[in-house]
Chain A
Amino acid sequence: MSAPKTLFDKIWDAHLIDESDDGTCLIFIDRHIVHEVTSPQAFEGLRTAGRKVRRPDLTLAVPDHNVPTSDRAAGIEDEESRIQVETLDKNCRDFGLQIFGMDDIRQGICHVIGPEQGFTLPGTTLICGDSHTATHGAFGSLSFGVGTSEVEHVLATQTMIQRKSKNMRVTVDGELPLGVTAKDMILAIIGEIGTAGGTGCVIEFAGEAIRSLSMEGRMTVCNMTIEGGARAGLIAPDETTFEYLKGRPMAPKGGAWETAAEYWKTLKSDEGAKYDIEVTLKAEDIVPQVTWGTSPEDVVPITGAVPNPSDESDESRRNKMERSLEYMGLEPGTAMRDVRIDRMFIGSCTNSRIEDLRAAAEVAQKAIDKGRKVAGHVDAMVVPGSGLVKAQAEEEGLDRIFIEAGFDWREPGCSMCLAMNADKLTPGERCASTSNRNFEGRQGPGGRTHLVSPAMAAAAAIAGRLTDIRDLD
């Protein structure tokens, strides 16, 4: 009998085309998503070399990073952004690729639309020129974020050159307490392992608390795997996965569905499979999280306070902390709940799906019931992950709740997650954000980001400062 395999081993082996003596491998790529920012130079490379796209049927394109989230009728005002979006259109026409253009209701953030369409499937390899490609791992798809050269490589050959990563498993046992979400779980995990904790690894998330998550929650967890430094995140597919996928436009149908599902059920780690690194957390210990610094690992419970650099013995860490605090304009010892905010952003591929919007709308509804609204000094924007998410939210009346409570309801896209379009923080502005990165300048030069869950973000907007969601009732 062969040695027990991890889920990662199984998917890897099923895609291995060739392996050299030094461990360099060539693997086949089943699915590829292309967006406007990291692809133009790849298509240019193909043209220069006179190459074609090997399998146009395996690639899906969508503009998301640059698109406006205000009324689209006027087109894109910023010339450079417009050129990028138009270039993607043209490249897709020239190379015969399917694209969900800006006016298509299916348009949205690349990591939201893949799963939504059933383009993302268990047991596949998937790549995209975006680091948060790890999101798709929620379906048991081995998904890598890559750079433009690799985008070009996959377009030309449908393969990728890579060495096999190490196996890491993060187990979250038990049940999440009330008011604690998938976002809090992944922030707590990153706080535990650090931003480089997963370097060189593919992380499999396991344990009861992971299994109990909805697909939306699992995507939130896998999405931020990259913030822990790992190449990819994986969750074994199960009934929750199949239920989500069944009937999606690009998912297999009829007999093909049955055959596929049979295979997908085998996609789990074998008993006794070996992991190079194992980390275990208890779900009961996780409380709502919030970041205080400029790295996702700079995280504390909302009940905590801004840490003091002088308590840190490691010099380089101490320097980093001091730098972060200066940038964030925070004093050590300040209670997180006393931190006043100017802006709030609900959106990004981490938290812009229907469930995220429902959680935030629930908080907004409670506020309305108590005669409250978004605090007067706070500008709060809600950006759905895709046109279809937006339509569903409107069908459920969530948009009206948001608008009544004083939130700004917008068109889908990456928006203020990375501030490439018109949505950005101005220097010194402080934002409670459901996105994934609190890096210096990420949401606009000089902008200050506190990462939180959607419910926590909505609560912060209403209170005008960071708030413990559990205090609301």
Chain B
Amino acid sequence: MEKFEKLTSVAAPLPIANVDTDMIIPARYLKTIKRTGLGEGLFANMRFNEDGSDNEEFVLNQPAYKDAEVLVAGNNFGCGSSREHAPWALMDYGIKCVVSTDFADIFYNNSFKNGMLLIKVGPEELDMLMDDAGRGANATVTVDLEAQEITGPDGGVIKFEIDAFRKHCLLNGLDDIGLTMEKEDKIASFEESHRAAQPWL
């Protein structure tokens, strides 16, 4: 997994609440056995017109936001399916950080496991960031994970919370499975007592 430390980028505003995983990547793009290349299907139903051409009105198709690496989105982003294709699509497209007031649980987990940072902020802070993002190409934000800060285009700083374990893994690009395997002794002894307690399993 790639490390996440600090990021400076234009932020794209997506002021829609309950953006679900079917919007992030429709099911017809899930017929792959790979993790890569999913950026093609990102927000497909909003990003493309019925004839396959770009929908010029969609935020990521506007010139100012072509290279945005940060997305500022409405509440409860990522609700719906457990498909990890959603964060894969965002990452593959180039989005590395999403800011919202809240995220759906499974999407939240999935994102961190792929090195994407999700930041929860208060409703007023989100409004402010949404306004800043609306200013387009001249308004960049800097996200600093170590300091847990977002610095806006006018120098204003928003502090954010993140749990220590996720932060540690992201900063160091650590793979969960490797970490868990270091606890082999504990797992093995648990397995034994569990089998004794519920032998029918």
Residues of B within 8 A of A (CB): 15-18, 20, 22-23, 26-28, 30-35, 45, 50, 74-76, 79-84, 87, 102, 104-106, 109-110, 113-114, 163-165, 176-177, 180-181, 183, 186-187, 190-191, 194, 197-201
Given contacts A22-B165, A159-B180, contact A259 B18 (CB under 8 A): no
The 8 Å CB contact of B106, one of A23, A123, A147, A420, is A147
The 8 Å CB contact of A24, one of B28, B34, B45, B165, is B165
Contacting residues, chain A, for B27 (C-beta < 8 A): 418-420, 442
Contacting residues, chain A, for B191 (C-beta < 8 A): 28, 158
Of chain A, the residue at the smallest CB distance from B74 is A316
Residue of A66, A84, A149, A437 most packed against chain B (CB within 10 A): A149
User: How far apart are the CA atoms of A26 and B179 in the complex, in Å?
Assistant: 11
Of chain B, the residue at the smallest CB distance from A55 is B191
The 8 Å CB contact of B82, one of A83, A131, A163, is A131
Of chain B, the residue at the smallest CB distance from A39 is B33
Residues of A within 8 A of B (CB): 14-15, 17-18, 20, 22-24, 26, 28, 30, 37-38, 40-41, 44, 49, 51, 65-66, 78, 80-81, 83-84, 87, 121, 123-124, 129-131, 133, 145-150, 152-153, 156-159, 161, 163, 195-196, 199-200, 229-231, 252, 256-257, 259-260, 263, 295, 316-317, 319-320, 323, 418-420, 427, 437, 439-442, 445-446
19 contacts between A and B (CB under 8 A): A14-B197, A28-B191, A37-B83, A44-B34, A84-B33, A121-B201, A124-B201, A131-B106, A147-B113, A149-B113, A150-B110, A156-B181, A157-B180, A159-B180, A159-B187, A195-B76, A196-B18, A200-B105, A439-B23
Of chain A, the residue at the smallest CB distance from B167 is A22
User: How far apart are the CA atoms of A254 and B20 in the complex, in Å?
Assistant: 46
Contacting residues, chain A, for B110 (C-beta < 8 A): 147-150
Of chain B, the residue at the smallest CB distance from A161 is B176
Contacting residues, chain A, for B22 (C-beta < 8 A): 418, 437, 439-442
3 smallest beta-carbon distances between A and B, as pairs: A147-B84, A147-B110, A80-B31
Q: Distance (Å) between the CB of A297 and the closest chain B CB? A: 8
The 8 Å CB contact of B16, one of A65, A123, A319, is A319
User: How far apart are the CA atoms of A131 and B79 in the complex, in Å?
Assistant: 10
Contacting residues, chain A, for B28 (C-beta < 8 A): 419-420, 445
Q: Distance (Å) between the CB of B116 and the closest chain A CB? A: 12
**CB contacts between A and B, total, < 8 Å:** 187
Contacting residues, chain B, for A256 (C-beta < 8 A): 199-200
The 8 Å CB contact of A439, one of B15, B20, B31, B75, is B20
A28 & B200 in contact (Cβ 8 Å cutoff)? no
A316 & B198 in contact (Cβ 8 Å cutoff)? no
A49 & B177 in contact (Cβ 8 Å cutoff)? yes
Contacting residues, chain B, for A65 (C-beta < 8 A): 30
B76 & A199 in contact (Cβ 8 Å cutoff)? yes
The 8 Å CB contact of B31, one of A78, A133, A158, A446, is A78
The 8 Å CB contact of B105, one of A14, A229, A257, A441, is A229
User: How far apart are the CA atoms of A316 and B73 in the complex, in Å?
Assistant: 11
B109 & A146 in contact (Cβ 8 Å cutoff)? yes
Contacting residues, chain B, for A28 (C-beta < 8 A): 187, 190-191, 194
